[in-house]
């Protein structure tokens, strides 16, 4: 082991220690990356890079979509879209056994398609759906577990901020990633609905059915949700069909959600100001983490850590699929300790080069590749798998963040009961991961068909 690699590994250990001590991950990465580059190449090199690094990182056009999607989600939260989605879903599904929980899942999927954030989806839908689930007599475990699990749909169903960041890191096409995420996202919704159906069949008292709505109630609820479905169809459909790129699509979506909220009287100037301030804070946090990740990436590259990791995995003698499963398991474990965006930025620069090396290199033909696909297909397939297991970290003990959010909203439900309620959904997610690994076409078919 040479001195540069030893310094890189030492820096990685210091970074883990700083995160364990609860230092914000952006500051930890900036500190370790800056000090590491200074140690390897001298402080002058570090200062020379620093004066242009921020501009070079933040001026990437693809990143301009981030504040627009964040703004769309912030306005949607204030516009009352979540309530309309839940009422419409409850009108169609609520009369079934476990139907209110199924409605919450469907509403989480719909809101996640506008919001793009798991924590925001869990928090917003928890406030809307939890009182109704309790009124109907749902068990605490099923009610809180459903909402915690439903929140994870926000990170994958497009548009997704984390998916955009992943695409920027591995230099993938954002539109292609959005296309690839749609079928796995729908599969998650179907598996979650099946999980609830099985749960209430085994424990009927946990999820009683609501009264069947009248035709007038069904019509009213459906009409109220049509604008939301129209906005989603315009934004995502426009991207898929090539009418506009993600950034203009997100801008149009944010504008239409604001018009919708203003027309309903739920988004006035005060609410709009709050949405803009939230967008500024969230975007600033994301960009600061991006800067820290880039500084850490430079340090680790000069120390040779990603290259050493790729070489070690390529020479480990493990089957390519075994290496993939190890990396996915590591992502689940890390998801228990940090948020999804930080995790993607921290580990993908290490994991991705290793997978490329194992697959046979950047330009290997599919017939000769270890995973049976080109590098372009691999980055799409692995990206969706990575985001799904990152979702799992949000509902995995001891730290699952979605569970903390729902537990705080529940006002007294022990966290242990929420973890028990979320366990069936965790296993449903493992089934989804297994299906996507066994059938890569579930991820790759739609991008290929629409291209």
Q: For position 383, what pLDDT does the model report?
A: 92
Q: For position 146, what pLDDT does the model report?
A: 92
Rounded CA gap, 280 and 157, in Å? 23
Q: For position 399, what pLDDT does the model report?
A: 66
Contact present, 176 and 447 (Cβ < 8 Å) = yes
Q: For position 191, what pLDDT does the model report?
A: 95
Give the mean pLDDT per block of 10 residues along the chain (451 residues). 79 84 84 86 76 77 84 85 86 89 91 78 85 89 91 81 87 89 93 94 88 85 85 84 84 90 88 91 86 85 79 78 88 75 82 85 81 91 91 77 82 83 92 94 90 71
Q: Provide the residue ranges of all domains of the chain, joining segments of one domain with +.
A: 62-282
pTM, 2 dp: 0.88
Rounded CA gap, 330 and 355, in Å? 14
Dihedral (CA of 201, 202, 203, 207) sign = negative
Q: For position 434, what pLDDT does the model report?
A: 94
Q: For position 398, what pLDDT does the model report?
A: 67
């Amino acid at each position: 082991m040479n001195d540069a690699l030893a310094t890189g590994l030492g820096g990685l250990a210091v970074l883990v220690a700083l995160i364990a001590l609860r230092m914000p991950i952006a500051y930890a990465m900036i500190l370790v990356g800056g000090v590491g580059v200074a140690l390897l190449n001298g402080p002058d090199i570090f200062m020379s890079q620093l004066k242009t690094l921020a501009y070079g990182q933040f001026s990437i056009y693809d990143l301009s979509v981030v504040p627009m999607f964040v703004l769309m989600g912030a306005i949607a939260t204030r516009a009352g879209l979540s309530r309309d989605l839940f009422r419409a879903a409850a009108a169609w599904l609520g009369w079934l056994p476990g139907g209110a929980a199924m409605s919450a899942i469907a509403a989480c999927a719909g809101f996640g398609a506008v919001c793009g954030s798991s924590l925001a989806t869990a928090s917003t839908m928890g406030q809307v759906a939890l009182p109704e689930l309790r009124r109907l007599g749902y068990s605490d475990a099923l009610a809180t577990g459903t909402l915690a699990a439903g929140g994870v749909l926000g990170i994958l169903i497009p548009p997704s901020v984390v998916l955009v960041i992943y695409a920027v890191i591995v230099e993938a096409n954002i539109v292609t990633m959005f296309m690839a995420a749609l079928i796995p996202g729908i599969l998650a919704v179907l598996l979650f609905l099946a999980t609830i159906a099985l749960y209430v069949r085994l424990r009927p008292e946990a999820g009683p059915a609501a009264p069947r709505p009248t035709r007038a109630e069904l019509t009213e609820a459906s009409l109220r949700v049509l604008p939301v479905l129209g906005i989603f169809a315009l934004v995502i459909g426009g991207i898929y069909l090539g009418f506009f790129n993600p950034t203009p699509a997100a801008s149009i979506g944010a504008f239409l959600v604001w018009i919708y909220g203003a027309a309903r009287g739920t988004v006035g100037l005060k609410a709009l100001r709050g949405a803009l301030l939230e967008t500024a804070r969230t975007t600033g946090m994301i960009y600061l983490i991006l800067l820290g990740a880039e500084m850490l990436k430079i340090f680790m590259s000069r120390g040779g850590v990603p290259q050493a990791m790729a070489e070690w995995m390529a020479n480990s003698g493990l089957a390519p699929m075994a290496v993939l499963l190890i990396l996915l398991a590591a992502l689940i474990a890390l998801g228990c300790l940090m948020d999804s965006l930080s995790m993607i930025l921290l580990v993908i620069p290490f994991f991705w080069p290793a997978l490329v090396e194992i697959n046979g290199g950047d330009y290997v033909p599919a017939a000769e590749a270890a995973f049976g696909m080109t590098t372009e297909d691999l980055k799409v397939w692995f990206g969706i798998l990575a985001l799904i297991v990152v979702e799992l970290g949000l509902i995995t003990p001891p730290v699952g963040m979605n569970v903390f959010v729902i537990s705080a909203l529940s006002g007294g439900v022990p966290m242990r009961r929420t973890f028990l309620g979320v366990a069936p959904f965790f296993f449903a997610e493992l089934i989804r991961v297994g299906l996507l690994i066994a059938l890569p076409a579930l991820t790759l078919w739609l991008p290929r068909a629409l291209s």
